[in-house]
Structure 1
Amino acid sequence: MIQVKDLVFGYNTSRKIIDQISFDVEDGHCIAILGNNGAGKSTMLKCLNRILSPNKGVVCVDALEITAMKQGEIAKHMAFVAQKNDNNRITVFEAVMLGRIPFIKWGVTREDEAVVSSVISQMHLDEFAVRYLDELSGGELQKVMIARALAQEPKVLLLDEPTSSLDLKNQLEVLGLVQRICHSKNIAVIIVIHDLNMALRYCDRFLFLKDGNVHAYGGQEVMTCECIGEVYQMPVCIGTINGYKMVVPE
């Protein structure tokens, strides 16, 4: 479980990008961070694992205070996947092995190799294991970056717009894999995402940010026309298609 309390961050004292952010995420739940551009979504995500050091507030994972840890220790509890990733001239297996760095002391062990092989299989990347990253498509590369994060065996997985550069098929495949891993591995997943309909399809709870503050947080009950209209400043209607709740601009 991750608990966030009174998180504050600003690059200077005159303007706070996020202010007094508080929420919690149960193990095995996937939450979507929603809001318009500039609302503070990616900034908040980076504060959770101290890529950015918050000015105030506390982040705890299973009662361990992340905000007081060094980065090496944080990496044993939380994994982060950025919006854009370098496609270096290394193989998929080597890239995923980088996720084991927080645990490697004197060299790669059989356990490390077993973890990496298992994650590659879970992410359906077996046929790409010896391919180089710069030979992969955008969807394939994104799955490798998620696999690398999962090789850390995190309790919390942070994803910053993981589908922003993917086509529809790859969006569905990547988010479907993330959802299944979240539930089967019983880890907390926090996703910054712009697509409300993808969020509704794959996430359990929804946190709306507006002007750096929590506007609403909860399950399907907060995904209303009124809430969405207030956050995005535009009217929408909500309906159901093939059993899925859908948001459509009016």
Structure 2
Amino acid sequence: MKLEANDLSFSYNSHPVLNDINFKIESRITALIGPNAAGKSTLLKCMAGVLEPDGSLIINEKDVKDLKKEELIRSRSYLPQDSKTNACLSVFETLLLGMVHSLSWKVGEEEIEAVSNVLEYMGIEDLAMKNINELSGGQKQMVFIAQSLIRNPQLLLMDEPTNGLDLQHQLELFEFIQKITKEKGMTTIIALHDLNLAARYADNIVVMSKGMIHSSGSPSSVLTQKTIQSVYGINADISVDTDGILWIKPLNSVRKVFRS
């Protein structure tokens, strides 16, 4: 899938949050990084259709405004940063809700098989019959990620998907995302705070600052000492490991701290 934004902007109550966003992204993993309030989550919501920005968003050379609602529902899936539910549902039922656009009054074998396949693929089939509100925070996150994948979307949007996950599950999750993105030819865009996860798993990185795109490109071209100092206000040591992967070690803030 190809995704393109042209002069995208958005404001909350006349307060500009996104300004003149332009990019072109194709089938691969793109990490959206930047400090708090840079506009990452707002941009994801615009791409997901949760918010309606000014400007144009183009999917496979078609403006989203010209696509039917059913096409948009099938083509993209969005996992927000704070996925919560008070519903008394099993994990299996929660995943079925991810296909609500295509479900009839009776669930068929095809839908049941699709849920079973995703549960098995993610290694959480043992949770299928458990009530989702009985799960740990990390387990819930894995379930919501599974729900976002149930429709085999062309565009997968994820806002801080590693929240609540320990280090092992963070790595397993990104290895899974890497695998499915390649296998399905998807476009996956992930908002992240962890620069090392972005450097390790993203093919492309978009750096946001103050509602605008500061820079974009490969991890090695974007994650430089100059960029990190300019955008995050810190000095960092950047090295390359034996696998050729960048490693960013924060050193200190460049701001002066005044003490009385």
Under a length normalisation based on structure 2, what TM-score does the superposition of the two structures give? 0.89
Q: In the alignment, what sits opposite 1:66?
A: 64
Q: Which amino acid aligns with 1:82?
A: P
Distance in 2 between residues matched to 1:249 and 1:156, nearest whole Å: 32
Q: In the alignment, what sits opposite 2:224?
A: 224
Q: Which amino acid aligns with 2:59?
A: V
Distance in 2 between residues matched to 1:239 and 1:66, nearest whole Å: 41
Aligned residue-pair number: 247
Gaps of 5+ in 2: 252-260
Shift of 1:176: 1.9
Correspondence 1:94 to 2:73: no
CA contact (8 A) 1:35 1:232 kept: yes
Report Cα offsets for 1:41-100 as digits up to 9, x if no partner.
00110011221111x111122223224556554221110011122244211111111111
1:13-24 equivalence runs, <5 A: 13=14, 15-24=15-24
Moved more, 29-38 or 95-104: 95-104
Report Cα offsets for 1:176-214 as digits up to 9, x if no partner.
211211112111100000000011111111000011111
Under a length normalisation based on structure 1, what TM-score does the superposition of the two structures give? 0.92
Correspondence 1:234 to 2:251: no
1:1-250 equivalence runs, <5 A: 1-13=2-14, 15-27=15-27, 29-54=28-53, 56-69=54-67, 72-87=70-85, 88-220=87-219, 221-243=221-243, 244-250=245-251
Report Cα offsets for 1:210-249 as digits up to 9, x if no partner.
1111100111211211111111111112012353311112
Gaps of 5+ in 1: none
Give the secondary-structure state (helix, strand or coil) at the position aligned to 2:234: coil
CA contact (8 A) 1:33 1:208 kept: yes
Shift of 1:145: 0.7
Q: Which amino acid aligns with 2:7?
A: D
Report Cα offsets for 1:91-146 as digits up to 9, x if no partner.
11111111111222453232222222211111111111111112222222111111
Report Cα offsets for 1:147-171 as digits up to 9, x if no partner.
1111122100000111133222222
Distance in 2 between residues matched to 1:148 and 1:178, nearest whole Å: 14
Distance in 1 between residues matched to 2:137 and 2:177, nearest whole Å: 16
Distance in 2 between residues matched to 1:182 and 1:4, nearest whole Å: 21
Distance 1:70-1:40 versus aligned 2 partners, 3 A rule: farther
What CA RMSD, in Å, does the superposition of the two structures yield over aligned residues?
Answer: 1.7
CA contact (8 A) 1:50 1:67 kept: no
